[in-house]
Amino acid sequence: MDFTNTLIVWYLKNLRDLPWRQTRNPYRIWLSEIMLQQTRVAQATPYYYRFLEAFPTVQDMATTDEETLLKLWQGLGYYSRARNLHFTAKQVVTEFKGEFPKTYNELLQLKGVGEYTAAAIASIAYHEPVAVVDGNVYRVLARFFGIETDIASSGAKKEFTELANTLLDRKRPAEFNQAMMEFGAVHCTPKNPKCDCCVLQSACVAFRDKKTNVLPLKLKKTKVTNRYFHYLVFEDLEGKVLLEKRTEKGIWHNLYQFPLIESQGILS
């Protein structure tokens, strides 16, 4: 089976009509990729439109103030992404004369742009043949090729990146990368993948060996740290409440909250 061509053909027939797929503008692609980090498409889409209305260009975003940008981001979560957006917009204007870098390696210089995001922008906006590797890609490749490498291990990223770049259609990198992401997002899903109608089924090792629910393999568990917050709500007779600005570094830096007491455990 020709994995690459089969996947691209599937994508072109089944792709979702998403606004960031109607452009090759690196600013718009970058904005969508940052918003889609740890956020579902349905939730991110209205924010994408809202941001483009407020900031049609990277210059517009660079010249706004942080509070205005954070207000627009409100409800999307992971606010460090919004701060990175603002920082990077200013970085593009000051260091790159308002033009987004045009290569994968240069894109990595931007704050908040890692290997996955750089590969997405480089391949979609500039047709640079570099493969994206994220959770969707891990899952599709691990299942199809029967790879039992622990994806949390130190060498997994290199292994999967090399494989993805081997499979990459160098003449159609944008289509291939988007096909991988789309297939993992809507078809070869973490739970209940659509194996019965899968175009890759005949050569899929996980389907053949009944390991779809096992692969990709992830042995290392994420460590969870419990924190205990106790908020104090003060309200006057006019219904006004007291808020404070969070100045400590962290995911809620510079956001407003009720006065807070943090304890080592649950208060009795």
Calpha distance 13→114 (Å, rounded) = 30
Tally Cβ neighbours within 10 Å of residue 123. Answer: 24
Calpha distance 124→130 (Å, rounded) = 10
Burial annotation 215-233 (CB, 10 A radius, 16+ → b, else e): bbbeeeeeeeeeeeeeeee
What are the φ/ψ torsions at residue 128 (nearest 5 degrees)?
-75, 130
What are the φ/ψ torsions at residue 257 (nearest 5 degrees)?
-155, 165
In the block, residue with structure tokens 């969508």: 32
Nearest to 98 by CA among 51, 53, 58: 58
Residues in the chain: 268
Tally Cβ neighbours within 10 Å of residue 118. Answer: 24
Active-site pick, 33, 128, 175, 182:
33
Calpha distance 33→121 (Å, rounded) = 8
Calpha distance 146→140 (Å, rounded) = 10
Q: Which residues contact 55 (CB under 8 A, 6 or more apart)?
A: 61, 64, 89
* 128 catalytically annotated: no
Calpha distance 243→258 (Å, rounded) = 5
Catalytic residue annotation: 33
